[in-house]
Amino acid sequence: MIDSEIDLEIKVITKFLNSEKRDRYVNFVQNGKTRPKFLKDLSKSDFLNQNLFESVDGNESEIIKDRIKSIGNIKDCYVISENKNIDQKRMSIENALTETIGADEGTLLVFGNAEIVYSEAEGFNNRWISKKKK
């Protein structure tokens, strides 16, 4: 992983995740051997700072695409996922959504410079998107 990707992951952790676990998660992503411990927690929803997220109900793809329009004309996103096939990759938004929605694996899609984050955890009703800035 290149430094800019580590920096982006740290930014996501410090900006959007539960404050009680931030330091631990930052240490995990900085060390390739402990990164899987961080990825394992993505399947749960308690790692998010829930005050910064709202539930995604309905057509997930359309809701996400509509939300990211607010940060400009972006074509791709960065993926943090339990799914090793897509983890630590930049993907087109379409491909990332196809690989993530309904996959039942913990995944974060990071849009822009962590302006917006989508979280998909295991189970039903476990899809979250960061709230619009006021």
How many Å apart are CA 127 and CA 122, to the nearest integer? 9
How many Å apart are CA 111 and CA 75, to the nearest integer? 9
Residue 94 pLDDT? 96
How many Å apart are CA 67 and CA 116, to the nearest integer? 8
How many Å apart are CA 105 and CA 13, to the nearest integer? 18
Work out the pLDDT band at 115, boundaries 50, 70, 90. Answer: very high
Average pLDDT, the chain: 92
For the segment 79-106, the average pLDDT, to the nearest whole number, is: 95
Residue 64 pLDDT? 94
Residue 71 DSSP label: G
pLDDT at 110 over 70: yes
For the segment 55-81, the average pLDDT, to the nearest whole number, is: 92
For tokens 């990759």, the residue is 89
Residue 73 pLDDT? 85
CA dihedral 40, 46, 49, 53 (to 10 degrees): 100
Residue 71 pLDDT? 87
Residue 91 pLDDT? 98
Ordered by start, the domain boundaries in the chain are 3-130
The closest alpha carbon to 82, from 48, 38, 23, 32, belongs to 38
Residue type, 63: I
Q: 16, exposed or middle or buried, with CB in 10 Å at 0-12, 13-18, 19+?
A: buried
Residue 32 pLDDT? 87
Give per-residue pLDDT as tens, 14-63. Answer: 999 999 999 999 999 999 899 999 999 999 878 999 999 999 998 999 99
pLDDT at 127 over 70: yes
- The pTM score is 0.94
